[in-house]
Amino acid sequence: MSNEEDIWKIVNIKRDDYIKFSDQIFDMPETLYQEFRSVAEHTKMLKKEGFKVTEGSCNIPTAVIGEYGDQGPLIAIIGEFDALPGLSQEAGIAKQKPVQNIDNGHGCGHNLLGAASLLAASAVKDWIKKNNIKARVRYYGCPAEEGGAAKTYMARDGGFKDVDTAISWHPATFNSVNKPNSLANIRIDFTFFGKAAHAAIAPHLGRSALDAIELMNVGVNYMREHMPVSAKIHYAYMDAGGNAANVVQAKATIRHLIRASDLIELRSLVDRVYKIADGAALMTETRVEKKVYSGVSNLLGNGALEEIMQKEFDKIGPVIFEDTDKIFANKIRKT
């Protein structure tokens, strides 16, 4: 039996357990840095599989690491398990149907990410053990992939310093090695401070933080024409200042997410957005504070590893879909 056949035999033995595991994580969607139940289940599975477990790695309570082996090259397999807010969805339904009393949902399939990556790490572990191979495999259960940049903080604290190669995956519309073209991005909170006043009796005494945010957004939107086509800027109101229309809002916060092809381009755009924020504060006689919430670099490719992985994809061939899969996909497509 070849090595490929040997390791796929191990995967198939574990298959059903990990499908159930993935479904379990789907049913407990938790957002960035709040994945306490999800990480507890991953920790339990790692211990069951015989990994040496480090909980709360890099001082992040919802991060976990499982490792096997004590010598040889170190292969890291990365998984996530965080959900997104506002994407609650009942399983197995081909139309939008939120779960009652649950707001979060695994819209990007992160229930699959952690489960399948842990399955891969476990299969590699068993294969290394069976064949007496001198190598190490490490599973990284990483929180906050959606907007929290946990891996950045883990890298900063040395969490990957001894890794020889790190492998991750993500559901997509194709089955292949992904091109290393993910944009660098940064999330920055802009909080404007003004002066409250009654909007009818004494509006001249007020200085509106909400006006400042709206002027900032106008400036950023005008900037879009004058930045590289690969760059993107999005925003969300984190605090609109309250819901009383007859009060001049004294404090308001907006989060801007800026994306660019690389860090040099990103830093240039951030400088320009900062100037726009300062201009909005000047126009409204308010004060602005800027706080970086998270940031990640663009991907750096590993051509040699990508070529090897693509050859393995070609050996395996395309995903085989059953008739029931196609019927369900068509139901989704109609919505």
Domains and CATH numbers, the chain: 3-171 (3.40.630.10), 184-296 (3.30.70.360)
For residue 78, give both structure tokens: 């990365």
- Amino acid (1-letter code) at residue 77: I
Mean pLDDT for all residues in the chain: 94
Q: For residue 1, what pLDDT is reported?
A: 56
In contact, 176 and 313? CB cutoff 8 Å: yes
pLDDT in tens, 94-133: 989 999 999 999 988 899 999 999 999 999 999 999 999 9
In the predicted model, is pLDDT for residue 25 greater than 80? yes
CB within 8 A of 212, min separation 6: which ones? 192, 194, 252, 280, 281, 283, 284, 286, 288
CA angle (292 as vertex; 144, 243 as ends), nearest 5:
90
pLDDT in tens, 172-213: 888 889 888 889 999 999 999 999 999 999 999 999 999 999
pTM of the model: 0.83
- The strand order across the sheet containing 74-80 reads 52-55, 64-68, 136-142, 74-80, 165-167
Q: Across the chain, which distance is largest between two alpha carbons, in Å?
A: 85
CA distances 37 to 28, 63, 280, Å, are 7, 12, 42
Helix (H) or strand (E) holding 195: none
Backbone angles phi, psi at 323, to 5 degrees: -60, -35
CA R_g for the chain: 24
* DSSP label at residue 17: H
Residue whose structure tokens are 């991953």: 42
